[in-house]
Amino acid sequence: MPAPIHHKLLDAIQRFNLCRPGDCLIVGVSGGADSVALLDLLATLPGFPLNLVVAHLNHCLRGDESDGDQQFVQQLADRYQLPCELRCVDVSQLARQQRLSLEEAGRTARYAFFDELRTRHHAAGIAVAHHADDQAETLLLRLLRGAGTTGLAAMVARNRAGIIRPLLAISRQELREHLTARGLTFREDSSNRDQAYLRNRVRHELLPLLQEYNPAIAERLSATASLLGEDETLLLHCTETAFSQLACSGAGWNALALAGLRQQPHALRLRLYRMAIESLQGHQQRLELRHYQLLDRLLLEGSTGAGLDLPGRLTALLTADRLLLAPKELLRPAPPRCCGIDALGRYELGNGLSLLVEAAAAPSSWHNLPAAVCYVDPEQAPFPWQVRPVAPGDRLELLGSTGSRPIQDILTDQKLPRHLRGCLPLISQDNRPLWLAGIRRSRHALAVPGCRQAIRITLSGQDQLPLFP
């Protein structure tokens, strides 16, 4: 008959749809009590067979002790006749290189290793041994550091990275009792007693103190985190719905529509900023609540062209109708490379832009032609042509009119940010504009239906610039 702890495990698996019978799971095993108990519970789950792969990352932080942990895990996997994946990473060096704490560097290396294994083994998830007491400690840690509801939701049973936590309803004491009943040994990590780590002080000092007020404090905190986690799931769904309606993106940039964004409640706006940045960078490292509040102030009080520099070389910019988020270098593109066009061929302009100049038949109509294409009558505008940035005073002879108009006015109508206009290539002949590439064509030398010959110019790479959201 299954033990009560197995019933709790099965209930969590089924309630949160963590995995199905026959699934492959990567099991993170450090050699400590919690992960050894997790492996044994999953390997002996009655009526729920799983294909398990044991994974252990040697952090190389404790010398012979770390190597002993690795050897222990290998022997443990052999005992269960399970495949074992081992890797050594110098976490101390990684922390220095990426300017992370040892804890952050270890977590980064560990989950990168686990995710690699999940892909290689086509696993349904990565099982880790976080339990109810870990949940309580995490909630307290984040409360001490000043987290909002997202942070206080702490750990979820399954996240989008494929991490599953089937032990969140099981206490540390229950896991230790299971190990004793099964006669299982484990490794003690000496760093778990180091009071230099805040988590250890919370575990050994703060929680025991709180237990004097409520002996079931760990259980209560874990239940609170679980409730907040369910609320967070709902809020995430609301944020994703709003994001799908307000966001557009390109190569390396995200943008949110101003009109719709300003109508959202303050709390939802902050979540939308976080989602836009995380979907752009893959993380929110180094960004704090104050940064999102500054973004909100930019949205509500800034004028077109106003910007904000954020950590991680990220910049926010207000265009006429969008809040644009992109790396600094993308929002300050260099001007197009000046060059002469004296023959057919391809011409590289920098910023990922290029022009293809080729002979072609004149178009049958100018209606519905892509903005990235222009046809020129070579009899009216023979080579050489020039490519250069737009200069003050440049004017374009527009189709449908008899005069000309300043190019800067045209760009204002197009709602293109001023500081980005200098990266647009202007193609001219004898200093008379033929085409503001990708934006507007001149009527001068335009190849009209019936022309004996024509030259087609095609602009490529404009989607690399955050100019056309």
Max Cα–Cα distance, the chain, nearest Å: 94
Q: What is the pTM of this model?
A: 0.65
Phi-psi label, residue 372: left if phi above 0, alpha if psi -120 to 50, beta otherwise: alpha
Mark the ranges of the chain whose per-residue pLDDT is less than 70: 1-2, 285, 419, 463-469
Per-residue pLDDT, 469: 43
Q: What pLDDT, on the 0 to 100 scale, is given for residue 464?
A: 61
Beta bridge partner(s), residue 247: 256
| Count of beta carbons in the 10 Å neighbourhood of residue 289 | 12
458 Cβ contact list (under 8 Å, min separation 6): 355, 356, 358, 372, 373
| pLDDT, tens digit, 9 for 90 and up, residues 289-340 | 889 999 999 999 998 878 899 988 899 988 888 999 988 877 777 788 999 9
Beta bridge partners of 442: 398
* Short-list 397, 400, 401, CA closest to 444: 397
Residues in contact with 77: Cβ distance below 8 Å, sequence separation at least 6, in sequence order: 29, 54, 83, 84
For 204-262, how does the pLDDT look when each residue is reduced to its tens digit (9 = 90+)? 899 999 999 999 998 899 889 888 888 888 899 999 999 999 999 877 889 999 999 99
For residues 229 and 132, what is the distance between their CA atoms, to the nearest angstrom?
Answer: 14
Sign, CA torsion 217/221/227/231: positive
Give strand pairing partners of 386.
340, 428
pLDDT at 452: 84
Give CA 421 to chain center in angstroms: 28
Residue owning tokens 């792969």:
53
The pLDDT, as a whole number, for residue 222 is: 87
Distance CA 289, CA 291 (A): 5
* pLDDT for position 2: 61
Query: What integer pLDDT is reported at residue 354 of this predicted model?
Result: 93
- Structural domains in the chain? 4-229 (3.40.50.620), 251-325 (3.30.465.60), 339-464 (3.50.40.10)
Residues 6 or more apart whose CB falls under 8 angstroms from that of 384 comprise 340, 341, 342, 429
Q: Residue 193, CB half-sphere, CA atoms under 13 Å: how many?
A: 3
Supply the angle between the helices 33-43 and 172-182 in degrees, to the nearest 10. Answer: 60
Long-range CB contacts (within 8 A, 24+) of 390-394: 390/421, 390/422, 390/424, 390/426, 390/436, 394/426, 394/433
